[in-house]
Structure 1
Amino acid sequence: MSINVNSQLTKKEAEVSEYLDKVLNIIEKKEVTAEEAKWITEETVNGFRENVNPGFLEYRKTVTKDGQFAAVEWSDGDSCFKDLNGNEYIDCLGGFGIYNVGHRHPKVMKAVQDQLQRQALHSQDLLDPLRAMLAKVLAEITPGDLKYSFFTNSGTESVEAALKLAKMYSERTTFIATTKAFHGKSLGALSATSKNMFRKPFLPLVPGFRHVAFGDIDMMRKTFEACALTGEDVAAVLLEPIQGEGGIILPPKDYLKEVRALCDEYGALMILDEVQTGMGRTGKMFASELYDVVPDIICLAKAFGGGVMPAGAVVAKEEVFKSWFPNPFMHTTTFGGNPLACSAALATISVLIEEQLPQRAAEVGEYFLQGLREVAEAHKDKVLEIRGQGLMIGIEFHDDEVGYEVSKGMFDRGVLVAGTLINSKTIRIEPALTIKYEEVDAVISRFKEVLESL
């Protein structure tokens, strides 16, 4: 006897089921009608207001105008994306540095789709091959003698894993981080992050964190000395080679080498957070290569999954990582290193190497920087400084309001940029490393238009 499933549903279940069918039908579509676009926009705005967080609607108003906060992204490819109404934008935000190999790179998409046809997630018990293969590749391409990998789903998870690894290896509990640093918002990573707005509501955080000024090697040295004198020996120094959310802040010459020397002198580990600077962004595969420094632990995420899958990693020297050998379950994650994420990361690294994207980032970045600086030369009353490395560029203005207005103006002209979480006066330029020269020229031209219109 067959059972009429629908007759078994409650009224609420039937309503939810009908809504789900409509949404899944929308997902299936490559193009939508004007009526469908209107419905999707209304559902999106109402959903954020009633069920996600209405604060996001206010946030969007600060970087757009005339109701464009309701712009709904729909599709993407190469270095651009389109909204629901077909408007195309050059993506110079890049998901905060996710799309290094571009939006939906065919090789990354194919690897994930091929893996999905066979197995999506792993059993958690048997050995999964792609995790082993990805770890081998990372041991080959990361600086120096970094060897063992632990896989995560995000940057903050990578930082958390690095902090725990450093504690377990050193049996010390003191960490040095820097002002203007951003390492994530889970409790451990937030303890290293410096912005008071994010920290205050959650105090007390993980104890043992000291913050010193980024780039001030004398202050770093004195902090090491003080910790040693008080019996609070430093487990590790945690740094971004180039500060991203802090406003694209480059370190002074030889700063990272001097920090490395201090770590060696005091028996501390050096952890480099390359979540944003890694995977070719700065003109090298890893920014630590720019400064000829080998960390004890490196943290990766963002672009690691090719802009297709959430993926991250911590790679460490054997001497450090072996503290997890006796019990590999001391730190685990259900989804970290899953087959889909590993397939995406493997394909991403392949694209970065084959298309020589780190080298391209260096060349295009220099061209981009020069063009932006030439435009800004006539607007010194608005633009304080333009700085960067590779395709990690920051434009700092004299005040927040100018930054907001420039962000709005660029969006109105089909270019997506945004401020940084630590320094709202600075907007970032972090496009795909595949961005075309004519797109760079278009961004520079529209930047000029916006500055002249203010």
Structure 2
Amino acid sequence: MTVIQGARVDTEEEILGLYRAHLSKGRATLAELFGSHMEVESSGAWLTTSDGERFLNAGGYGVFIMGARHPLVMEEVERQLHTHPTATRILLEPTVARAAEALVSVMPEGLDRVHFALSGAEAVETGLKLARAGGRRRIVSMLGGYHGKTLGALSATAKEVYQAPFRPLVPDVRHLPFGDAEALEAELRAHPGEVCVILEPVQGGGGVIIPPPGYLGRVAELVRAYDGFLVLDEVQTGFGRLGEWWGADAEGVVPDVLLTGKALGGGVLPVSAAVATREAFRPFDKDPYVHTATFSGQPLLMAAVQGAVRAVKEERLVSRARDLGAVLLSCPGLRPGPAARRPPGPPAGPFRTARPGRRPRGGRRRRTRPGHLGRRPRRRGARLCRRRARHRGGAAPGAAGEPRLGVPAAAADAAAQHARRADRHRVRGHRPQPGGGHRLRVRRERHRHRPRPPRPRPLRHRRHGRQRGDDHPAGDGRIRQDGRPVAARRRPGHRLPALRRRP
């Protein structure tokens, strides 16, 4: 820690040391690779680092739909903080009741029972437990979906890299292709009355994958036909992120349980919720202590929920998110769900490499692994990430290899202006290529490499490397029978292979 103008300032080296000593060595190494930037302040759509740089905050995995430290949310939280921040969990507490009322007021009709939690994974666990309590012991989730990393949520998350260290997981879990209604119907037909289907209206962790039109409505229809249980995970997609309050609203779907979180805390505090129908919530009505948590529904968190709902309503953030989405989609460099449209294979990330086998300009030929950053990976990686973040805003890469842009709708005008400017200065670089790649190259879009016509290669004498004229006695030795000349590149000492004259 250093002192600058009388104030104590944490240095990057000190924070990295604390990460290695008390948190995660791997996380510290990853941070050092990308420049060791420390975020120290956030306001609205902008994030400030310790070195004074400002970035458009497109990260947070969907938390900042209304930006950071929204005034209406902060007002509610500060008022509750100075009166009654934490409850005893024994007596009735009015703030949680008002928060539940506010949340139900924006839910699809029929969802009127609320259980509050802290994280999205806890909300997923609540939905799965309600399904099991209702007799649905089999779980069906979608390939590419993400539902969290607690044991039950991890079982529904079809990510081998997350699941492998913790097997065995919850049994009777099946993963089906996202968007394939026929595969889902076959599974439901094989196990009527036993299946809980959990899915996201639009997959976030899988690469912002948008299903075919009508898919969500068809899923709800099949679940009802085969007496199943439908859980919609809207932790990322809800609260206006898709241009509607909920992804379910787009197709008029009412699930048994709808999960929300992230933006529910207004970008200030962590809070999530599972909102269910009366029939689905019946096991919790019978025994109010069968599924509880100490910090579930605490007054300070509930104040943030009330402020968040109020902010979205009063500032019309749902319609602003819809307008901002149209602006972003008009930028050629930004597109929805690229992983949904391209065939399986290496992801086409936001960066592109030079073609394999080509010599990097100004250097010798080197064969490197895909994504190799050269001799100074930390410096080069930090420079690339900083440049990308300046042009496109700070964002977290998805599983499909492309950054997910979670742009705050509360700052739609500034975000749209930044997106247009970013599109004019797009950064190109890394994309894995079959057979290896080369060092990353960053070029502006208007300076993309254009192929040059091949230069003529003069004929060479096989001994001395000197060019001979057509009148030379040995000239016919350089012409094959089919009439094509034997060429060699201009290189000192290069020799042609010995040729046998054919009679």
TM-score (ref. length: structure 1): 0.82
The whole-number CA distance in structure 2 between the counterparts of 1:295 and 1:129 is: 28
The whole-number CA distance in structure 2 between the counterparts of 1:402 and 1:119 is: 53
**Is 1:234 matched with 2:194?**
yes
List aligned pairs for 1:346-357, cutoff 5 A: 346-357=306-317
- Opposite residue 406 of structure 2, the aligned amino acid is E
Structure 1: 4+ residue segments shifted above 6 A: 393-396, 403-406
The offset of 1:361, in angstroms, is: 0.2
The offset of 1:437, in angstroms, is: 2.4
The whole-number CA distance in structure 2 between the counterparts of 1:135 and 1:96 is: 24
**Is 1:398 matched with 2:348?**
yes
**Is 1:196 matched with 2:160?**
yes
2:265 alignment counterpart: 305
- 1:184-228 Cα deviation digits (max 9, x unpaired): 000000000011100111111011211100000011111112234
* Stretch moving more, 242-251 or 283-292: 283-292
Specify whether residues 401 and 88 from structure 1 end up closer, same or farther in structure 2 by C-alpha distance, changes over 3 A only. closer
Structure 1 residue aligned with 2:57, among 91, 95, 104?
91
- 1:381-422 Cα deviation digits (max 9, x unpaired): xxxxx2169xxx9999525864988755322558202211x3
The whole-number CA distance in structure 2 between the counterparts of 1:194 and 1:328 is: 32
The offset of 1:451, in angstroms, is: 2.9
Specify whether residues 144 and 39 from structure 1 end up closer, same or farther in structure 2 by C-alpha distance, changes over 3 A only. closer
1:338 alignment counterpart: 298
Specify whether residues 239 and 79 from structure 1 end up closer, same or farther in structure 2 by C-alpha distance, changes over 3 A only. same
**Is 1:52 matched with 2:16?**
no
The whole-number CA distance in structure 2 between the counterparts of 1:408 and 1:188 is: 37
**Is 1:103 matched with 2:68?**
yes
5+ long unaligned stretches in structure 1: 1-21, 27-31, 377-385
1:418 alignment counterpart: 396
SS in 1 for 2:155: helix
The whole-number CA distance in structure 2 between the counterparts of 1:156 and 1:355 is: 29
- 1:357-380 Cα deviation digits (max 9, x unpaired): 011000011111112x2x47xxxx
1:215 alignment counterpart: 179
**Is 1:387 matched with 2:336?**
yes
* Contact residue 98 and residue 303 of structure 1 kept, 8 A: yes
* Contact residue 181 and residue 215 of structure 2 kept, 8 A: yes
SS in 1 for 2:47: strand
SS in 1 for 2:82: helix
List aligned pairs for 1:7-86, cutoff 5 A: 33=4, 39-61=10-32, 64=34, 68=35, 70-86=36-52
Which structure has the highest strand share of the two? 1
Structure 1 residue aligned with 2:409, among 433, 438, 447?
433
1:449 alignment counterpart: 425
The whole-number CA distance in structure 1 between the counterparts of 2:76 and 2:387 is: 38
* Contact residue 145 and residue 199 of structure 2 kept, 8 A: yes
- Quote the sequence identity (%): 30
The whole-number CA distance in structure 1 between the counterparts of 2:50 and 2:386 is: 19
* Stretch moving more, 289-298 or 304-313: 289-298
The whole-number CA distance in structure 2 between the counterparts of 1:247 and 1:59 is: 21
* Contact residue 387 and residue 394 of structure 1 kept, 8 A: no
The whole-number CA distance in structure 2 between the counterparts of 1:270 and 1:440 is: 36
- 1:117-136 Cα deviation digits (max 9, x unpaired): 11111101001111111112
SS in 1 for 2:18: helix
- Opposite residue 281 of structure 2, the aligned amino acid is F
Specify whether residues 317 and 325 from structure 1 end up closer, same or farther in structure 2 by C-alpha distance, changes over 3 A only. same
Specify whether residues 414 and 75 from structure 1 end up closer, same or farther in structure 2 by C-alpha distance, changes over 3 A only. farther
- Opposite residue 411 of structure 1, the aligned amino acid is A
The whole-number CA distance in structure 2 between the counterparts of 1:204 and 1:397 is: 30
The offset of 1:294, in angstroms, is: 1.1
The whole-number CA distance in structure 1 between the counterparts of 2:395 and 2:98 is: 36
The whole-number CA distance in structure 2 between the counterparts of 1:345 and 1:337 is: 10
The whole-number CA distance in structure 1 between the counterparts of 2:337 and 2:313 is: 22
Specify whether residues 407 and 240 from structure 1 end up closer, same or farther in structure 2 by C-alpha distance, changes over 3 A only. farther
The whole-number CA distance in structure 2 between the counterparts of 1:314 and 1:166 is: 12
The whole-number CA distance in structure 2 between the counterparts of 1:358 and 1:138 is: 15
* Contact residue 98 and residue 306 of structure 1 kept, 8 A: yes
The whole-number CA distance in structure 1 between the counterparts of 2:197 and 2:278 is: 18
* Contact residue 111 and residue 277 of structure 2 kept, 8 A: yes
The whole-number CA distance in structure 2 between the counterparts of 1:138 and 1:291 is: 20
- 1:17-43 Cα deviation digits (max 9, x unpaired): xxxxx9xxx9xxxxx837866534332
1:29 alignment counterpart: none
* Contact residue 239 and residue 246 of structure 2 kept, 8 A: yes
- 1:83-103 Cα deviation digits (max 9, x unpaired): 11221111111x111011111
* Contact residue 247 and residue 394 of structure 1 kept, 8 A: no
The whole-number CA distance in structure 2 between the counterparts of 1:317 and 1:436 is: 34
5+ long unaligned stretches in structure 2: 354-370, 372-380, 429-441, 444-503
Structure 1 residue aligned with 2:105, among 137, 140, 158?
140
**Is 1:316 matched with 2:281?**
no
SS in 2 for 1:416: coil
Larger radius of gyration: 2
SS in 1 for 2:67: coil
* Contact residue 64 and residue 263 of structure 2 kept, 8 A: yes
- Opposite residue 396 of structure 2, the aligned amino acid is A
1:295 alignment counterpart: 255
The whole-number CA distance in structure 2 between the counterparts of 1:118 and 1:364 is: 38
1:409 alignment counterpart: 387
* Contact residue 165 and residue 321 of structure 1 kept, 8 A: yes
- 1:240-299 Cα deviation digits (max 9, x unpaired): 010000100111111111110111011111100000001111111111111221111000
The whole-number CA distance in structure 2 between the counterparts of 1:37 and 1:175 is: 52
Specify whether residues 165 and 42 from structure 1 end up closer, same or farther in structure 2 by C-alpha distance, changes over 3 A only. same
* Contact residue 156 and residue 183 of structure 1 kept, 8 A: yes
